[in-house]
């Protein structure tokens, strides 16, 4: 089986990525106003995220407005929202399941093979969560790139990648790496055979030896 240290490293990597996914979902800086080319630098910076759009003034004052209508949003925003929510839910399930399946915990010690399979299941949940996060962030970034290089987009209305996208990419990478480490907990065939032999061995096999010892005394 995989060492407890490998499982522990994978769990904390995936946990850090899951927290990063939550932060990326809440941040409003998925895209920010661009000043490339001949764009006029103004005193107001515009930001837009999955849940709100914000305007930051040079004085430090920030005003945000929630997206009031869901159906009026673009398809990529709605899809990214759904994927990030699914990723957070899958990550939560992975956090709970992985704790039960790791070798460093005492839950289910009587059946180490089943415990290892539970850790593998937790790793699978983390891998699915990482794929959802990576898909949402990459799709949103592709849309921002398309609008930036679209000739019909006004220069003063172009946006660039915001910090939330880089947080999302980093979080997805951590979740995928941690889930891969946890998935290495799959028991080997010989270990499964030993577990089956221990479970199938009758408990009365040692009674004659004990009785002979008692008679000799």
CA atoms within 13 A on the CB side of 208: 2
Contact (CB, 8 A) for 112 and 104: no
Residue 205 has pLDDT above 60, yes or no: no
Which stretch of DSSP H or E encloses residue 95?
helix 75-101
Supply 107's token pair.
Answer: 């839950």
Report the b/e string of 47-61 with b at 16+ CB within 10 A: bbbbbebbebeeeee
State yes or no: pLDDT of 95 exceeds 90: yes
Residue range 122-174, pLDDT digits in tens: 999 999 999 999 999 999 999 999 998 888 888 777 889 999 999 999 999 99
**Alpha carbon of 113 to those of 40, 47, 104, 110, 120: distances in Å?**
64, 50, 14, 9, 11
Mean pLDDT, rounded, for 88-111: 85
32 near 47, Cβ under 8 Å? yes
Relative to beta strand 62-66, strand 159-161 is unpaired
Tell me if residue 169 falls in helix, strand or coil.
Answer: helix
Would you state the structure tokens that stand for residue 82, as one six-digit string?
A: 């759904």
pLDDT given for residue 210 in this prediction: 47
Tens digit of pLDDT for each residue in 67-90?
888 888 889 999 999 999 999 999
Class for the domain spanning 4-27+71-200: mainly alpha
Q: Give pLDDT, residue 41.
A: 55
Q: Is 101 exposed, middle or buried (0-12, 13-18, 19+ CB in 10 A)?
A: buried
The pLDDT value recorded for residue 123 is: 94
Contact 6, 181 (CB under 8 A): yes
pLDDT value of position 187: 67
Angle between helices 189-200 and 112-149 (to 10 degrees): 150
| Sheet of strand 62-66, all strands in order from the earlier edge strand to the far edge | 62-66, 52-57, 44-48, 31-33, 159-161
Radius of gyration (C-alpha) of the chain in whole angstroms:
26
200, pLDDT greater than 70: no
d(CA 161, CA 95): 30
- Which comes out higher in pLDDT, residue 87 or 211? 87
- Expressed in percent and rounded to 5, the helix, strand and coil fractions of the chain are 65, 10, 25
Give domain limits for the chain. 4-27+71-200
């Amino acid at each position: 089986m995989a060492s407890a240290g490998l499982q522990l490293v994978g769990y904390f990597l995936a946990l850090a990525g899951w927290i990063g996914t939550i932060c990326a979902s809440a941040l409003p800086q998925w895209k920010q106003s661009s000043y490339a080319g001949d764009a006029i630098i103004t005193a107001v910076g515009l930001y837009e995220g999955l849940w709100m759009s914000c305007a930051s003034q040079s004085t430090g004052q920030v005003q945000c407005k929630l997206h009031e209508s869901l159906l009026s949003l673009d398809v990529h925003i709605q899809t990214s929202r759904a994927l990030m929510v699914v990723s957070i839910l899958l990550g939560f399930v992975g956090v709970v399941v992985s704790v039960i399946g790791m070798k460093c915990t005492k839950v289910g010690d009587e059946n180490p093979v089943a415990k290892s399979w539970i850790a593998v299941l937790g790793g699978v949940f983390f891998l699915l969560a990482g794929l959802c996060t990576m898909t949402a962030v990459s799709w949103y970034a592709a849309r921002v790139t398309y609008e930036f290089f679209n000739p019909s987009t006004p220069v003063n209305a172009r946006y660039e990648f915001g910090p939330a996208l880089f947080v999302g990419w980093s979080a997805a990478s951590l979740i995928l790496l941690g889930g891969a480490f946890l998935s290495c907990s799959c028991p080997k065939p010989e270990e499964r055979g030993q577990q089956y032999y221990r479970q199938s061995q009758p408990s009365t096999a040692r009674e004659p030896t004990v009785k002979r010892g008692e008679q000799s005394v």
